[in-house]
Amino acid sequence: MKQHWVLSGVDQRAVRLRYRPAEGQPTITVSPILTIADVCRRLRKSRRQVYRYVHLGRLRPCAQVLGQWLIATTEVDRILHDHMPRFLRQFFWDVQLSSLSVDHHRDFILARLLEHGDAQALQWLLHAYPRHALVTFLQGRGRQVLSRRAWQFWALQMRLQTGGRRTWSWRSQGRHWGGLP
């Protein structure tokens, strides 16, 4: 089986990567693309950190051509915009916003904003996370960390089945902030 890679670019940078598989299959085009050196410059990270991102799956390369990883610009932009906006600082009073990652701390961010968020915070939340992420959170971890009132409100908003809840959070069980009843 032959694989055909076509790189086109201006000067020394590859701008477009086109993969043509065997006949009868569609051509895949990824544009624009970056090399690891370009990614390092954009993210302001060392080559070692960028390779760690690739190894951990945070950056998904398009292809490896002549020993060089090629990464789509959209992947790099996703990591660049993986930070919390400043106006959410009031809801995360106990942590630094710079240490929170939108992807890695999803459950913590969703719990805090669904419980305490105002209109602007909820608008950002609904823009940052797709609907299926909210539904998955509400059906899973959200049952334990949200208050009964907040969970029922969001379950109704997302049109979930509200019956058959096994256990509620510690708030509705008579305990005060995690202490004894």
pLDDT of 164 over the 70 cut: no
What pLDDT score does 1 carry? 41
Please return the burial class of 50, using the count of CB atoms within 10 Å of its CB with bins 0-12, 13-18 and 19+: buried
Query: Could you read off the pLDDT of 55-90 as tens digits, one per residue?
Result: 877 788 877 777 788 888 888 887 887 778 889 999
Token couple for 18: 């086109």
Query: Any idea where the domains of the chain sit in the sequence?
Result: 4-80, 86-173
Is residue 155 within 8 Å of residue 147, measured between CB atoms?
no
pLDDT for position 13: 55
- Tokens 């106990």 belong to which residue? 94
CATH topology of domain 4-80: Multidrug-efflux Transporter Regulator; Chain: A; Domain 2 (1.10.1660)
Task: Please give the angle made by the CA atoms of 134, 135 and 136, to the nearest 5 degrees.
Answer: 90
State the amino acid at position 32 in one-letter form: P
Cβ contacts of 62 within 8 Å, gap of 6 or more: 17, 30, 33, 70, 71, 72
